[in-house]
Amino acid sequence: MKKIVISSGAGISAESGISTFRDAGGLWEQHPVMDVASADGYRRNPALVHSFYNERRKALVEAQPNAAHRLLRDLEDEGYDVYVITQNVDDLHERAGSTKVMHLHGELMKVRAVDDESLVYRLRPEALETTPDTVIDGHRVRPHIVFFQEAVPMFEPATELAAQADIFVIIGTSLAVYPAAALLQYVRPGTPVYYIDPRPAPVPPGVTVIKATATEGMRRLFAMLTGKESPR
């Protein structure tokens, strides 16, 4: 069974209506990114950060996985061993049915204890709003998000996955956010690599660039890998 490792970025979720800060001139829903997505910003104004992610959760509840998300699940159904490494904090890959998803930058629908980051809690659908005073199991909590200026704890496991790939696919990313952009460097020489993006960044020789949106690019890739017409 061939192992396909996917590295997905904001572009795949944008097609489900999830806004991206890189397309907003340094603003994310009218907020400077470093005010709502950095460790310094959280220390300065934790109430603003909690409020911001409360709004992001409301938007995510209304969003739905798109064809690109679902085609990744379809590749599993075609017999591929598919692992998704995503920079996205939404749960659209899981809701589309992907069974092996690794989140590099945290998960929007979870919070973690301020005093013990190993304690992570999934928020209940009826209680998605938090404040700096929210307490779960005796612990104050913060968004389970890897802020700018913080380490990315899942990066090393992600590099190990990239090194095991028989096929490596990059979807919807500018290749400008590190360390996630460095995953390509861990792929074994000779491994087929595909890069799907409507505005692709420069890539090394040998990478097959599919200049298209995530949904259209995944339709093409599905046909290339399976020899079948895309079902989406």
Residue 61 has which token pair? 């509840």
Give residue for tokens 């409507």. 198
Q: Chain-centre distance of CA 17, in angstroms?
A: 14
Sequence-ordered list of residues with C-beta below 8 angstroms from that of 81, at least 6 positions apart, any chain: 1, 2, 3, 4
Of the candidates 31, 50, 69, 105, the residue annotated as catalytic is 105
Q: DSSP string of 204-221? A: -TTEEEE-S-HHHHHHHH
Q: Cβ(30)–Cβ(192) under 8 Å?
A: no
* Annotation marks residue 31 as catalytic: no
CA dihedral 191, 192, 198, 203 (to 10 degrees): 50
Q: Which residues are catalytic?
A: 105
